[in-house]
């Protein structure tokens, strides 16, 4: 069943409101990508989240956790009411995802530059064990300041891992520090098949995920906007780690209902 994205946006903001925690704009910028993956691409069974044959998704930019939690709950990996406990002492849902606690979370991320090489190891493991499952990872452009992103880019193409897809959430969050420049050109130079898409156009994202890439890993540079979907958050860096007030929340409800 295809999910209503505005309901997910609301559930993200509600979780954040309840806990006073969370990176809302980072969760909103990846939501279209996550929905395409979980609606149309990944093979998984929420009742059997450790099925060896499942496709793997690794949220390398772990601070987008709220977006992932909202989608996993929507797909039935855990009850939606868990979202209300986000960030609380005994919650399974923290500011960064814990693979030992949350069904459907493959890797505990948060430290940038760890999830991508871990996904690469999973892709290599699939080849070694002759498992047809595919591995998808989502990194940020800010995360791409980390050297391990480029170590991984080098390794993945060297080992011709065409069961690996790296999606870049290019929301320009760290242009203020270091701009990563032309990500498609960079991945192409690292001998990946690389495409650029509008990261809020689900049809374009889906088509990009079906790009043929025989013998090479696939990079999808998704041009996104932090806080996309919320007029007040769009492009406003003050929202990176901010909890909405009651008035701001009411405005979001009006926009999304």
Residues engaged in binding other proteins (CB under 8 A): 52, 99-100, 106-108, 110-111, 113-129, 131, 147-148, 151-152, 154-155, 158
Six token digits for residue 53: 């044959």
CB of 232 to other proteins, least distance (A): 35
**Which is closer to other proteins, CB of 158 or CB of 203?**
158
CB of 249 to other proteins, least distance (A): 34
**Tokens 């044959």, residue located:** 53
Q: What does the alpha-carbon distance between residue 69 and residue 82 come to, in Å, rounded to a whole number?
A: 9
**Which is closer to other proteins, CB of 91 or CB of 99?**
99
CB of 147 to other proteins, least distance (A): 7
**Which is closer to other proteins, CB of 77 or CB of 239?**
77
CB of 41 to other proteins, least distance (A): 20
Please give the biggest Cα pair distance in the chain.
Answer: 54
What burial class does residue 130 get, using C-beta atoms within 10 Å of its C-beta: 0-12 exposed, 13-18 middle, 19+ buried? exposed
**Which is closer to other proteins, CB of 2 or CB of 100?**
100
Ranges assigned E (strand) in the chain: 56-59, 135-140, 164-170, 193-198, 218-223
CB of 32 to other proteins, least distance (A): 26
**Which is closer to other proteins, CB of 31 or CB of 59?**
59
Residues 6 or more apart in contact with residue 208 via CB below 8 angstroms: 195, 197, 220, 222
169 bridge partner residues: 140, 222
């Amino acid at each position: 069943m295809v999910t209503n994205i505005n309901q997910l946006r609301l559930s993200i903001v509600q979780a954040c409101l309840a806990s006073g925690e969370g990176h809302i704009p980072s969760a909103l910028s990846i939501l279209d990508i996550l929905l395409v993956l979980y609606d149309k691409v990944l093979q998984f069974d929420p009742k059997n989240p450790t099925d060896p044959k499942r496709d793997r998704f690794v949220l390398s930019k772990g601070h987008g956790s709220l977006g992932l939690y909202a989608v996993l709950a929507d797909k039935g990996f855990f009850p939606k009411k868990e979202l209300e406990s986000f960030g609380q002492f005994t919650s399974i849902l923290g500011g960064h995802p814990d693979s030992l606690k949350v069904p459907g979370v493959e890797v505990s991320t948060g430290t940038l530059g760890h999830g991508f090489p871990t996904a690469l190891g999973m892709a290599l493991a699939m080849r070694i064990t002759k498992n047809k499952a595919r591995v998808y990872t989502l990194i940020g452009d800010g995360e791409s300041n980390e050297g391990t992103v480029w170590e991984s880019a080098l390794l993945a193409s060297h080992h011709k891992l065409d069961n690996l897809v790296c999606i870049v959430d290019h929301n320009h969050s760290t242009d203020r520090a270091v701009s990563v420049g032309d990500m498609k050109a960079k991945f192409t130079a690292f001998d990946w098949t690389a495409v650029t898409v509008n990261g809020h156009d689900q049809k374009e994202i889906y088509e990009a995920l079906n790009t043929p890439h025989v013998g090479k890993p696939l990079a999808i540079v998704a041009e996104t906007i932090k806080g996309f979907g919320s007029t007040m958050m769009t492009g406003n860096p003050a929202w990176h780690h901010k909890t909405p007030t009651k008035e701001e929340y009411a405005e979001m409800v009006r926009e999304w209902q």
